Every structure is written in C-alpha cells, then in structure tokens.
Amino acid sequence: MGKKPFIVGNWKMNLTLSEGIEFAKSLKNSLHGINEILCGICPSFVFLKDICKVLEGSHICVGAQNVHSEKNGAYTGEISALMVKEAGCTHVLIGHSERRHLFGEIDSFINAKIKTALSVNLKPIFCIGETLKEREEGRTEYVVEKQLKDGLLGIDNNHVEGLVIAYEPVWAIGTGKTASPEQANEVHSFIRGFLTDNYGKVIANSVYIQYGGSVKPENTAELISQPEIDGLLVGGASIKLESFLKIIDAASIQ
Ligand code: 13P
C-alpha cells in the first residue's frame, strides 16, 4: 500500500519499570536514524510517563493498553484517556481480545472508548478478530464486520482517516499458531473492502491494518510482504529487545 510498516509492541502485563526503561533506552539508540518504519510500544500504565520521557525526541510512539470510556468520574481503578494523553501517549489499544474475552468488553463500550480517545487526540489502535470456534463455523467475516460496524458507529470520516485497525485472530494470540500470511491477508482485504464501501477508497487506503497473533522474527517478512498488511501488533516477541529488534529489522527491509 506504499505505507511505512507500523510495528507496535504490546507488552501486556510484563516487565518491571527498570526493565522497561532499559528497553526503551536501547530501542531508542538502536532505531536512531532509521526512517523506513514506524514503531511504537504499549507498556503498563504505571510506566507510561517514564517511558515517554526516555523516548522524547525519537520517532518511537507510546500507547496505553486501554482507557475507560468516560472522561472522568467515580470509576475506581480506571484510567482516563486524558490521563494517558498527559503522560505523553499518542496511541491507545482499544478492544484488545484480552479485554473483550477476559474482561467482558462489548462492542458498544469499545465504541464509546474510541470516541473518548479521539476527543482528546489519542489515536486508537482498534483491535478486532474472531475466535477459533467462529472461524471453524465460517463466521470470520460476519464477526469482523460486526466488530467494525459497532466499533466505528458514529465516528466521523475524518477520524477514520489514518486510523489503525489491528486484526488479531483470537486463536493466534499467545498460542504460537500464526495465521498464514494468506489467511491474514484475506481478512485484511475484507476489512479494506468494508472501509472502502463505507468511507470511500481514499480513506480506506489511509487506514493502517496491522496483523497480530504469534508474530515472531521468523514469520515477519512473509506477513509484512502481504499487500494488505500495513503493520504488526506484537505481544510475546515484543518484550525481549532482541526479538523485537529482529522483527523491526525484518519489516524494514521489505
Ligand atoms: P502474541 O504476539 O503474544 O501472540 O500476542 C499478540 C497480541 O495480543 C498483541 O496485541
């Protein structure tokens, strides 16, 4: 699609603060002067401010892993979009499958979170994907389309432009089972088609569609070389600097 690959590491609930800071410092040094790719990391909430500080002056962006849908209020234990923005984040993961499946997040809640994130100028990385059962029943496209429709309900075209969507088949997350490059590309094409039908070709082509699910250095090149895969959302392989750098390296030479 002619875009720079956008590689994001989702650290989930991993690393300590000191490990995170060391990682960010080394990543910044390693990527200094490299302009062929876009890169980001999504650390724990409590590391965000420190890591944003370390990465100041670099092109590496920082995202939170979640935010609440309300702007503020009596929501004990929750974090607002503005708090995350003030910590220095530019992005936020919304609707990650672990939030959907382990914490019961539904499409309408995800839609509200996307709107709130956009209202404070945070860029959502909107995650979607089917379960193994849904795939086996032949319902992948139905599920993905519903997640897209409900998640993007009422969102202006200008906010869909340049949006990041991460297609993460649930059965491929943390399982070592990657979708084949063709399987991933097929769903990415479907997502692009949905965007074209609903927002037009120009906006559809401006959207970054990342693939996530057991991405590792060994499968990066073939995934990223698929025409509809604009980037990768990496879990387990992003918490070790060496493997994350190998992924970035493999993606940038495509
Ligand atoms: P893994 O790369 O560990 O499968 O995780 C993918 C993911 O959930 C990224 O958000």
Rounded to the nearest angstrom, the distance between the alpha carbon of 233 and the centre of ligand 1 is 7
For residues 202 and 184, what is the distance between their CA atoms, to the nearest angstrom?
22
What is the residue type of 62?
V
Q: Whose CA is nearest to atom 5 of ligand 1?
A: 235
pLDDT tier for residue 253 given thresholds of 50, 70 and 90:
confident
pLDDT tier for residue 172 given thresholds of 50, 70 and 90:
very high
Whole-structure pTM value: 0.97
For residues 6 and 233, what is the distance between their CA atoms, to the nearest angstrom?
8
pLDDT at 180 over 60: yes
Q: What is the pLDDT of residue 33?
A: 87
CB half-sphere exposure, 195, CA atoms < 13 A: 27
What are the pLDDT digits (tens) for 43-92? Answer: 999 999 999 999 999 999 999 999 999 999 999 999 999 999 999 999 99
For a substitution probing ligand 1, which of 128, 168, 175 has the most ligand atoms within 8 Å of its CB?
Answer: 168
Q: Whose CA is nearest to atom 7 of ligand 1?
A: 235
Q: Do 54 and 20 touch, CB atoms closer than 8 A?
A: no
Across the range 92-97, mean pLDDT stands at 98
Q: Whose CA is nearest to atom 9 of ligand 1?
A: 235
The one catalytic residue among 98, 130, 168, 228: 168
For residues 120 and 233, what is the distance between their CA atoms, to the nearest angstrom?
23
> How many CB atoms sit inside 10 A of residue 46's CB?
11
Q: Which residues line ligand 1 (CB under 6 A)?
A: 10, 96, 168, 173-174, 212-215, 233-237
Q: Do 31 and 248 touch, CB atoms closer than 8 A?
A: yes
Q: What is the pLDDT of residue 27?
A: 98
For residues 254 and 246, what is the distance between their CA atoms, to the nearest angstrom?
13
The one catalytic residue among 68, 96, 105, 188: 96
Provide the residue ranges of all domains of the chain, joining segments of one domain with +.
6-252
- Tell the burial category of 92 from Cβ atoms under 10 Å away from its Cβ (0-12, 13-18, 19+): buried
pLDDT at 1 over 70: no
What are the pLDDT digits (tens) for 183-226? Answer: 999 999 999 999 999 999 999 999 999 999 999 999 999 999 99
pLDDT at 254 over 70: no
pLDDT tier for residue 25 given thresholds of 50, 70 and 90:
very high
pLDDT tier for residue 155 given thresholds of 50, 70 and 90:
very high
Q: Whose CA is nearest to atom 2 of ligand 1?
A: 235
Rounded to the nearest angstrom, the distance between the alpha carbon of 30 and the centre of ligand 1 is 23
φ, ψ for residue 63, nearest 5 deg: -125, 150
Q: Which two tokens stand for residue 167?
A: 């297609």
Ligand 1, residue 173: give the atom nearest the CA: 4
Rounded to the nearest angstrom, the distance between the alpha carbon of 253 and the centre of ligand 1 is 22
Active-site residue flag, 188 = no
Closest CA to 70 of 61, 59, 57, 79: 79
- Tell the burial category of 129 from Cβ atoms under 10 Å away from its Cβ (0-12, 13-18, 19+): buried
For residues 29 and 55, what is the distance between their CA atoms, to the nearest angstrom?
10
Q: What is the mean pLDDT of the chain?
A: 96
pLDDT tier for residue 176 given thresholds of 50, 70 and 90:
confident
pLDDT at 10 over 80: yes
Rounded to the nearest angstrom, the distance between the alpha carbon of 200 and the centre of ligand 1 is 30
**CATH number at 6-252:** 3.20.20.70
Active-site residue flag, 168 = yes
Rounded to the nearest angstrom, the distance between the alpha carbon of 234 and the centre of ligand 1 is 5
pLDDT tier for residue 34 given thresholds of 50, 70 and 90:
confident
pLDDT at 129 over 60: yes
Ligand 1, residue 166: give the atom nearest the CA: 10
pLDDT at 4 over 70: yes
What is the residue type of 185?
N
